[in-house]
Amino acid sequence: MNLHKKPLTVAVALVSLAVMASAQAEISDGEVRIGYLADMSGTYRDLGGPGGLAALEMAVADFGGSVNGAPIVVFSADDRNSADVGANTVREWIDQRNVDLVAGLVASSVVIAATRVLEENGGLGIVSGAAASSITNEHCTPNHIHWVYDTYPLANGTAKAIVEQGGDSWFLLTADYAFGHALEADVTKVVEENGGEIVGSVRHPFPTSDFSSYILQAQGSGASIVGLANAGADTVNAITAASQFGLTQSGQQLAGLLVFLNDVHAMGLDDTQGLLLTTGWYWDMDEASREWAQRYFDEVGRMPTMVQAGIYSSTMHYLQAVEAADTDDPATVRATMAEAPIEDFFARNGRIREDGRMVHDMYLAQVKTPEASTGEWDLYEILSTIPAEEAYRPLTESQCKLVNR
């Protein structure tokens, strides 16, 4: 009930206030406070960034703007892809703003630092943009959930498919920080287990604008596949440099190990056609995904990435758990979230495991040719589904301290 919308007698007003106070008794400060932390201006701006904040705000609006009478308040900040900035922001939000949930969380190095702060302070975070599988492996905590994807299914999807098609010699071009290292390790394991070989690798600083020397090293390796273990603007710059140096014309094939819809859209189908990739979601998968994506497009002016769709999905699941538990206590809400299956426009066969990994079906896709595309955002063909239980690292291989042995 909104006391400002209609006149009330004093008696009715007092009763209404008492009911509202009871409903909010377990909601700290009488508000559900969400902090959105992401790269808002740099390398990862387009895959999450302001568009991810818009998705979160859509979820809040669709939920009705309040939970059991308690208003939902959203804060946002640019982490500038800095672990120190991210950790300090989360600490300030918890200490001074009593933020209940930290959402977004894109760069893996930022996430690992931020989740340590959440664990130290008893907070809760949902990671939607970062890729390192270590986030729910050796860096797991009881205070965060990893939602959209990670490097394990990227390797299991893209690298395995390419090796099975005959691409058995690889050169890896890797972003030199936590995400790149995790993806390099996961891809190496999958390639070698399937009979392939890593013949060389090189790590580049994050971010990098000039990939000339790295592409020349890849060409000189003689590898049939050049795997790009990077993301965002780094991937775009690497593919652009590969095109300029004629890498694919010389018989080598590029494998984009983490490619987003916005990357393909920015580069165009002429440069990206035929590229194999693994994704957690695509806007044109079915009627439910198309309906939500169109609403997002009408709001933002571009189709959403899997990260932006995942931010909406995870925010809704969080708010539903707060409503069901009638509290924003982090431990209680996390447990409530883990009890409920996730079946929405984003996730199929989704559930939250004890290590904090939200497992769900993933998809092997291929970028369409210009001739096959029927519109500006008609970019992928979904080739196959990777079932949830096969996509992610099995708990039997987990190093997470939360997993029962």
Q: What is the pLDDT at residue 20?
A: 38
Q: What is the pLDDT at residue 251?
A: 87
Asked whether residue 21 is domain-assigned, the answer is no
State the average pLDDT for the chain: 92
Q: What is the pLDDT at residue 275?
A: 87
Q: What is the pLDDT at residue 400?
A: 98
| Residue 270 belongs to domain with CATH number | 3.40.50.2300
Asked whether residue 215 is domain-assigned, the answer is yes
> In terms of DSSP bridges, do strands 225-229 and 169-175 run parallel, antiparallel, or are they unpaired?
parallel
Asked whether residue 324 is domain-assigned, the answer is yes
Whether residues 274 and 302 share a domain: the answer is no
Whether residues 144 and 48 share a domain: the answer is yes
Asked whether residue 78 is domain-assigned, the answer is yes
- Where residue 9 falls among pLDDT bands split at 50, 70, 90? very low
326/90 Cα distance (integer angstroms)? 24
The DSSP secondary structure of 128-147, one letter per residue, reads -S---GGGGTTT--TTEEE-
Whether residues 254 and 376 share a domain: the answer is yes
Whether residues 242 and 384 share a domain: the answer is yes
Whether residues 56 and 99 share a domain: the answer is yes
66/60 Cα distance (integer angstroms)? 8
Q: What is the pLDDT at residue 11?
A: 32
Range of the domain at 70: 26-149+285-360
Distances (CA, A) of 304 to 46, 117, 158, 309: 10, 30, 21, 6
Q: What is the pLDDT at residue 5?
A: 32
Q: How many domains does the chain have?
A: 2
pLDDT digit string (tens) for 66-109? 999 999 999 999 999 999 999 999 999 999 999 999 999 999 99
Whether residues 192 and 294 share a domain: the answer is no
Asked whether residue 19 is domain-assigned, the answer is no
Q: What is the pLDDT at residue 405?
A: 67
Q: What is the pLDDT at residue 8?
A: 33
- Where residue 362 falls among pLDDT bands split at 50, 70, 90? very high
Q: Which tokens sit at 352?
A: 């939250």
Whether residues 356 and 370 share a domain: the answer is no
Asked whether residue 47 is domain-assigned, the answer is yes
Percent of the chain with pLDDT over 90: 85
Whether residues 355 and 368 share a domain: the answer is no
Whether residues 299 and 209 share a domain: the answer is no
Q: What is the pLDDT at residue 6?
A: 32
Higher per-residue pLDDT: 65 or 248: 65
Q: What is the pLDDT at residue 281?
A: 98
Q: Which regions of 245-355 does DSSP assign to beta strands (E)? A: 253-256, 276-279, 351-352
Percent of the chain with pLDDT over 70: 94
Higher per-residue pLDDT: 7 or 288: 288
Whether residues 290 and 240 share a domain: the answer is no
Cβ-in-10-Å burial (0-12, 13-18, 19+) of 262 comes to: buried
For residue 10, pLDDT over 50 is answered with no
Whether residues 258 and 289 share a domain: the answer is no
For residue 149, pLDDT over 50 is answered with yes
For residue 17, pLDDT over 70 is answered with no
Whether residues 76 and 134 share a domain: the answer is yes
